[in-house]
Chains A and B, each alone.
Chain A
Amino acid sequence: MNWETIRVLLVHELRMLVRDRRTVILAVGVPILMIPIILFAAKWINERRARTLEETVYRYAVTGTEAEQLRSTLARAKESQARAETEKGKEEGLERFKFEEVKVQDPAASLRNKDIHFYLEALSGPQADALPKKREKEDEDEVAPQSDSTRKEILPVPTRLPGVPLILIYYQGDQDTSQAGEGKMRDLLLRERRNGRDAILLDHGFPVDPLKVISIADKSLASAGQVTGAWVGRFLTAFLVMFLLTGGSVVALDIVAGEKERGSLETLLTTAARHGEIVAAKQLTIVLVAILITVIHIANILAYVTFRIIKMPEDFVIKAPPGTVVTLFLLFIPMAAFISSILLMLSAYAKTYKEAQLYFFPVYLVNLTISFAAVLPGVSLRSAIVIVPLANVSVAVREILVGKFDWPMIGLTFVAMAAAAVWTVRASARMLSQERLITSSEADVADFAGGPALFPKHVLRWYALLGVILFSVALNVPQMATLRRQVLFNDLVLFLAGPLLMIWKYRLNPKEALAFRAVKPAVWLAALLIIPSGNLVGIGAFRLADLVIPVPRQMLEQFGQELTPPGMPMWQIILLLAVLPGICEEIAFRGTLLYGLRRKFRPAGLAVVVGLIFGLFHVAFFRIIPAGFMGVVLTAIALFTGSIFPGMLVHAGNNAFAFWAGRQGYPLAGLNWPLYLAALAIFGLSFHILYRNRTPYPDLRN
């Protein structure tokens, strides 16, 4: 590396950036203006809403047989307000709750016409008892509903007792003031009820103040600094990633893609500067600009906090001892390098500035989403997340700011992040050497003629569309809610008709596209052996991984779990969930998808990509990896044999095996280790048989 060359290049890039005034203003000036505007808007909205709700005099009507009783209660409540001492918690707002009764003929109509904010109907005990029973969505003491399977508690959920009068508060949920009024009135009545209860008890000789019965106090061991650290830690990494990405993109999108478009990249590549030096200089430029803009934003926000333009809660205390700062810094360096490499790679891949911008949005979204990992409750650094770039830093930062230093995991985080950064830097350097990205592409015959030559270019779009349809229909068409209908729709419409449509549109040879080829007899034996052994190997692999890095329970269970509704006859299970997917999904994934991608990737990569796409089509998170694993195995079989048929057998057989084992109650996820090892041996033998009897998939990339 010639550092002088890098210095010259770096100065050159920075000089050009600084002279692009418009970009500088947009990149720095506009966000500096926008952030306070956004914050001010949010603050104004909240304050205005709070003020409106507070200043509103809530008009209400009273009706029902117990109206007078209710009016007395409300009168007492007003008196309590007048002499109330402020209590902690939500009742503080009750002191400023202003309400006045309005006499109306038709309360319901008045409510609809917004003449009143809400109205109360007071029913006697017998009247309330006579009301039809229905699930009340907003019972006064209802807590967040818990799943029935976990709660078999002895203490009853509070409900209205027979004979107890009922007060119904009618409001319009689509009107903010009406809803707020209902809430305040409810709180007021609850408070009055509590006061009433206490008075009744004391009048009957209850020996103590009811408020002092079973008093609860709590104490947090975490210091204010730690609590603040936990809160800040959730978002800090995500904000930094956001600033680095937007800041870095200012220069990154143009630094290669724009140069390519203008033609000056080729000029640069003919100079004595090596590719590595050019990449290093450009990367350094992106990092410097990204960090500078991030620092400006942070300083901007800190200024607002310091001058109390943004008000922080009183107990907001940031503790940042030097050790913490240094550790954070060490983690953020590879993160910044990684992000700048991603931006450089994106710019190197795109042919024009516009194209680079197009790629930027999804890249931004994905990276930002991953960096919010710390928001997930209960995610620990000591888990699989430690090897996921950005997510690992996010979780590590949260733990560090809370004062938890899990040094081995922090070290692993640094290594994983640095490895990711190195990989992306090398990828972007390779991209600058990829000739098709540097030289302008000549017009492709396929673009003119269409037909089979165009299919490889369009195949992924088709599958993206299939995925979208699968997901949208499942979520939005209630008629598809049953398992049978979903399976039939997915298999017959998407996975069978879809590929047939592609074959027709692109004039593909069906035999080639679907790999309808005969195989040697021994292949069938191997396929039969893979059915049980593949299943167990998958489970065993994940159990092994679990020893080192904990894997969520559901993921392990999904390998062998029976997912069928109880009572479904076995023949239906086999037909719908084994045979049909075995045929249709193979046609879709090891048929047209594999055919379309066969030249895009080398065989190993192809198996992983097709397997991964297969996994993603299983939608539910905990099924993606097991399904993906099976997808890789099935693709490997297709690549070895050049045929779709063995995979169909394995796929159908694997599903049938899993369901059968589930029905029989065999705990496939809890077997002894020798059994998994035996399965591995059989699995290996099966692939050896495949290899020995291989008829490779034709026309693959070397």
Chain B
Amino acid sequence: MNEPVVVRNLAKTFYDEARGEVRAVQGIDFECRAGEIFGLLGANGAGKTTTLRMLSTILTPTSGSAEILGYDVVADPAAVRKSLGFYSASTALYPRLTARETIEFFARINQYPGEKVRERVDYLIERFGIAQYANARVDKLSTGMKQKVSIARTVAHDPPLLIFDEPTVGLDVLNALEMQEVIKEFRAHGKTIVFSTHIMSEAEKLCDRIAIIHDGKILACNTLENLRRVTGVHYLEDIFVNYVRGQG
């Protein structure tokens, strides 16, 4: 199948001087279908961020494979990164660039066609309503404004795949809701989105399919409806606990 994201037996082991081996991700398998929002749901330390970092080539898998739009994350990391936009609460902006310069920089660095960069930047500024402070330095912007600039730079090169790692962490209710709307809009535009969270309501609202991850393993991967049917409980929180405690 030519799914945009194909993960087979992906594992990641860290080596620590004092503790020895730490197996953060233990052989997980999943696929994301084109145009869906695929959610990775798990508690802190479950392995969500490690998984997404492997997909975005920041980390190298210890074993297994992952393909993004046909490109292997180990063999062809540059092509993988060119095809995706990665957003995380920990991925910050450059304080001394203006909003416009930030978006333009990321468009160029991700090899968006040079002659179209200007147009693309103007479009994104317009789309995310940041025209008012497009020429203000990032370090002068409020959290909400920075969030918008961050999203804009994530999609600056119009990638077909987007990865959001706990994107609403630290945001207030309104900003978090806005983020959710934006993600839905991306899906409407045909983007494939991999989305990690530990907030159950978010996963319920956004995800077409959900993978429950715990202790580096995927315990379940299905639509919400199917998960409800299999477990016999309604709320995602209960479903989650059901799987995790069952695992334990």
Contact = CB atoms under 8 A, between A and B. Distances in A.
A, B from the same assembly = yes
Interface of A: 2, 5, 8-9, 12, 15-16, 19-20, 262-264, 266-274, 433, 435-436, 438-440, 442, 444-446, 453-454, 456-457, 599-600
Interface string B15-56: 011110000000000000000000000000100000001001
A526 to B, nearest CB: 32
B105 interface: yes
A439 B95 contact: no
Nearest to A442: B45
A130 B78 CA distance: 93
A16 B58 contact: no
30 contacts: A2-B111, A5-B111, A8-B105, A9-B109, A12-B105, A15-B97, A15-B101, A16-B97, A20-B96, A262-B92, A266-B88, A266-B92, A267-B86, A267-B153, A270-B57, A270-B86, A271-B81, A272-B79, A435-B14, A435-B59, A435-B60, A436-B14, A439-B59, A444-B18, A445-B19, A453-B18, A454-B18, A456-B17, A456-B18, A457-B18
Most buried by A among B19, B91, B157: B91
B96 A263 contact: no
B140 interface: no
A270 B108 contact: no
A435 B58 CA distance: 8
Contacts of B60: 433, 435
Q: Looking at chain A's contact residues, is the secondary structure mostly helix, strand, loop, or mixed?
A: helix
A94 to B, nearest CB: 64
B78 A270 contact: no
Given A16-B97, A272-B78, A446 B19 contact: yes
Given A444-B18, A600-B17, A19 B96 contact: yes
Contacts, number: 95
Contact of A271 (B17, B79, B95, B106): B106
B82 interface: yes
Interface string B66-92: 000000000001110110111010111
Interface string B141-156: 0000000000001000
Contacts of B84: 270
A274 B58 contact: no
A8 B108 contact: yes
A16 B93 CA distance: 12
B91 A267 contact: yes
A453 B59 CA distance: 26
Contacts of A442: 45
Given A453-B19, A457-B18, A272 B81 contact: yes
Contacts of B59: 435, 439
B160 to A, nearest CB: 13
Contacts of B57: 269-270
Contacts of B91: 263-264, 266-267, 270
B109 A273 contact: yes
Contacts of A267: 86, 91-93, 153
CB-based closest 5 A-B pairs = A263-B92, A270-B86, A272-B82, A446-B18, A453-B18
Contacts of A12: 94, 97, 105, 109
Given A271-B106, A456-B17, 10 more contacts: A263-B90, A263-B92, A267-B153, A270-B56, A270-B58, A270-B81, A270-B85, A439-B53, A453-B19, A599-B17
Contacts of A19: 96, 137
